[in-house]
């Protein structure tokens, strides 16, 4: 069992924000359990970690499956002995169709992964953090600017991300007596495949007025640095909510 550094669990660690944050945590000295459905991208993250890869653990996990999430946390505890941080990040964007055409199955998939998946991971982290000595830890939920305002044709994603704000507030309150802090980072347009996939015919993303327009993005590194900062605070201090976005994206403002 390796208990020499602080221990993190990162979901969605095989790509995009999750991978970048996992690598930055490793770089900052953390040991990191890497979760996501596919093993290969998780192993690619280990490869990118170089020598720090020795402080990682790959656990292929579907966050929507309670048994798989239980296995992720028991494997992490078996290897590292405690859990100081959960970066609750895994998510999908889901259907981008007119509201009345949203298929029930696709709505359900977004809720299962983006809401229930984050609940299941938070519950396992909460249990471990409450039990361990010294007690406590931090959960950072990956919300979105969609936790504030919607993109057009994205009701499932928007609903799920609004729900995460409720999860964050509840965890913050219920976690207090166990020294469990909970934060939420609401990101806007970090350059990942998820944002690339919002492109309509390569011309940009659909805007509130129906137009298609290119949108600025920001480098993932800014997100990673912010999460490492949030993760590194003592449990007596907490970034409750942080909005981190491409400065000139069409979020602030109205017609
Ligand atoms: N990029 C942005 O600007 C932005 C803005 C706001 C919020 N976010 C949030 O950031 C998070 C990461 O998104 P991203 O932009 O980095 O996109 P991404 O590269 O598509 O990452 C999503 C990750 O989630 C994992 N995942 C999906 N379903 C899963 C499941 N059922 N169980 C376990 N892992 C699962 C995927 O791996 P597998 O497919 O292998 O499972 C993938 O690694 C999401 O919650 C997203 O809503 C992103």
pLDDT, tens digit, 9 for 90 and up, residues 177-222: 999 999 999 999 999 999 999 999 899 999 999 999 999 999 999 9
**Nearest alpha carbon to residue 116 among 78, 73, 158, 69:** 69
Question: Residue 84 pLDDT more than 60?
Answer: yes
85-88 and 137-142 as β-strands: parallel, antiparallel, unpaired? parallel
pLDDT at 254: 79
Q: Output the six-digit token pair for 218.
A: 């920001």
DSSP H helices in 185-245: 193-196, 220-232
37 Cα nearest atom in ligand 1: 41
pLDDT at 124: 98
Question: Residue 99 pLDDT more than 80?
Answer: yes
Q: What is the DSSP secondary structure assignment for residue 76, as one 8-state letter?
A: H
Q: From the CB of 156, is ligand 1 less than 6 Å away?
A: no
The alpha carbon torsion through 51, 140, 199, 96 (nearest 10 deg) reads 130
Q: At the topology level of CATH, where does 7-245 sit?
A: Rossmann fold (3.40.50)
Ligand 1 pocket, mutate which of 10, 17, 154 (most atoms under 8 A from CB): 17
Q: What is the DSSP secondary structure assignment for residue 43, as one 8-state letter?
A: H
Catalytic residue of the set 157, 168, 187, 189: 157
Chain-wide mean pLDDT for the chain?
96
* Residue 202, Cβ density class (10 Å: 0-12 exposed, 13-18 middle, ≥19 buried): exposed
pLDDT at 2: 46
Q: What residue segments make up the domains of the chain, in order of their start?
A: 7-245
Question: Residue 255 pLDDT more than 90?
Answer: no
């Amino acid at each position: 069992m390796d208990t020499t550094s602080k221990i993190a669990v990162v979901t969605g660690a095989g790509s995009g924000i999750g991978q970048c944050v996992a690598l930055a945590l490793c770089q900052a000295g953390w040991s990191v359990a890497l979760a996501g459905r596919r093993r290969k991208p998780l192993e690619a993250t280990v490869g990118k970690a170089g020598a720090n890869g020795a402080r990682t653990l790959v656990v292929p996990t579907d966050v929507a499956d309670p048994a798989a999430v239980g296995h992720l946390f028991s494997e992490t505890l078996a290897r590292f002995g405690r859990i100081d941080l959960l970066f609750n990040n895994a998510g999908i964007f889901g259907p981008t169709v007119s509201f009345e055409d949203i298929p029930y199955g696709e709505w359900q998939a977004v809720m299962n992964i983006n809401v229930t998946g984050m609940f299941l991971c938070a519950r396992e982290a909460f249990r471990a953090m409450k039990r361990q000595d010294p007690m406590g830890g931090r959960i950072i939920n990956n919300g979105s600017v969609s936790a504030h305002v919607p993109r057009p044709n994205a009701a499932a994603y928007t609903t799920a991300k609004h729900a995460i704000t409720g999860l964050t507030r509840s965890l913050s309150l219920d976690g207090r007596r166990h020294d469990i802090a909970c934060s939420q980072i609401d990101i806007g347009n970090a350059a990942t495949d998820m944002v690339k996939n919002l492109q309509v015919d390569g011309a940009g993303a659909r805007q509130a007025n129906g137009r298609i327009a290119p949108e600025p993005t920001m480098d993932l590194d800014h997100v990673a640095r912010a999460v490492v900062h949030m993760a590194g605070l003592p449990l007596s201090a907490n970034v409750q909510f942080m909005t981190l976005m491409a400065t000139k994206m069409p979020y602030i403002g109205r017609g």
